[in-house]
């Protein structure tokens, strides 16, 4: 399902960048995929768009229950 022309066009617009990463972080990324550059590129795109919501169990915020009103309103 991959279009070879779109991948060749994509490679024309990419620039190679060298970065230093923590070895534990790189190990976690490599556990997810054989191509860490795709994950790093996606993370940078999300960061630039201001998407700070992460989708893993450790960073999810618990949804708060609505506050219970004082007695006499609807909590009789």
Does residue 27 lie within any of the structural domains?
yes
Report the number of distinct structural domains present in the chain.
1
How far apart (Å, rounded) are the C-alpha atoms in residues 64 and 47?
Answer: 26
pLDDT tens for residues 23-61?
999 898 888 888 888 888 888 888 898 876 655 556 666
Domain residues for the domain of 30 are 21-51
Residue 8 exposed, middle or buried by CB count within 10 Å (0-12, 13-18, 19+): exposed
The predicted structure's pLDDT at residue 47: 87
Does residue 67 lie within any of the structural domains?
no
What's this model's pTM, rounded to 2 decimal places?
Answer: 0.47
Does residue 64 lie within any of the structural domains?
no
Does residue 30 lie within any of the structural domains?
yes
Q: Backbone dihedral region of 50: left (phi > 0), alpha (psi from -120 to 50 degrees) or beta?
A: left
R_g of the chain computed on alpha carbons: 22
Does residue 32 lie within any of the structural domains?
yes
Does residue 1 lie within any of the structural domains?
no
Q: Is the pLDDT of residue 76 over 60?
A: no
């Amino acid at each position: 399902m991959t279009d070879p022309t779109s991948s060749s066009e994509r490679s024309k617009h990419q620039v190679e960048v060298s970065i230093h990463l923590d070895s534990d972080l790189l190990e976690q990324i490599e556990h997810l995929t054989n191509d860490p550059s795709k994950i790093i590129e996606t993370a940078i795109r999300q960061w630039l768009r201001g998407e700070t919501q992460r989708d893993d169990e450790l960073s999810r915020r618990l949804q708060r229950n609505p506050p219970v009103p004082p007695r006499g309103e609807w909590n009789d």
